[in-house]
């Protein structure tokens, strides 16, 4: 009886060792595939997108400076008692039906209602090419200068 228990214990230990070695083998296969930049087979071993020993790929973003004319439709500072470092305006671009509220640092001065201003903007070309999303442009681009102008829309 005692020999039977020892035999069962040895068989169980062998089964456990075989299962452990199987999982170690699967891990080594996936590790080698990850290091070679290949897709892993068993995908539960950490980051399946990991690629070792490769050079980093940079994405080139082209920046540019553009001049755009916008009309200040409304000065929202008259409606609010904000005394922070920003002024708020509703602006619109020539022939575009998209009035947009923008926030400008007070260092740019006070803008007058119903007046055209030429904004010199610096930012990502892709962003500046999307002329319909004024809010995103003014939140993401640097304003280099703002000048009152008689120009209208495409006169730039």
Looking at the DSSP bridge assignments, the partners of residue 72 are 91, 115
131 shares its domain with 68: yes
d(CA 37, CA 122): 38
How far, CA to CA in Å, does 73 sit from each of 32, 100, 134, 135?
62, 9, 14, 15
67 shares its domain with 117: yes
pLDDT at 58 over 80: no
Q: Which of 137, 119, 120 is nearest to 129 (CA)?
A: 137
42 shares its domain with 99: no
120 shares its domain with 73: yes
Q: What is the mean pLDDT of the chain?
A: 80
Predicted model pTM: 0.57
d(CA 21, CA 130): 57
User: What Rg do the C-alpha atoms of the chain give, in angstroms?
Assistant: 32
* Beta pairing class for 100-105 and 142-148: unpaired
92 shares its domain with 39: no
Confidence grade of residue 48 (pLDDT, cut at 50, 70, 90): very low
68 shares its domain with 28: no
Q: What is the DSSP letter of 106?
A: G
142 shares its domain with 107: yes
Domain hosting 33: range is 1-55
Sign of the CA dihedral running 12, 13, 15, 20: positive
Q: Which of 11-15, 77-81, 130-134 has the lowest mean pLDDT?
A: 77-81
- pLDDT of 59 reads 72
d(CA 11, CA 16): 9
Query: Which of 10, 37, 55 is at the close of a domain?
Result: 55
């Amino acid at each position: 009886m005692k020999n039977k228990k020892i035999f069962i214990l040895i068989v169980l230990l062998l089964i456990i060792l075989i299962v452990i070695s199987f999982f170690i083998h699967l891990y080594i296969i996936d590790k080698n595939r990850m290091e070679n930049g290949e897709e892993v087979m068993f995908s539960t071993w950490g980051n399946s997108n990991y690629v070792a020993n490769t050079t980093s790929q940079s994405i080139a973003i082209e920046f540019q400076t553009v001049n755009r004319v916008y009309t200040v439709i409304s000065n929202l500072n008259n409606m609010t008692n904000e005394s922070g470092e920003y002024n708020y305006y509703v602006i619109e671009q020539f022939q575009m039906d998209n009035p947009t509220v923008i926030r400008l640092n007070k260092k740019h001065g006070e803008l007058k209602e119903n007046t055209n201003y030429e904004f010199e903007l610096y930012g990502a070309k892709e962003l500046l090419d999307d002329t319909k999303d004024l809010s995103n442009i003014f939140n993401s681009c640097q304003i280099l200068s703002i000048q009152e102008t008689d120009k209208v829309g495409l006169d730039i």
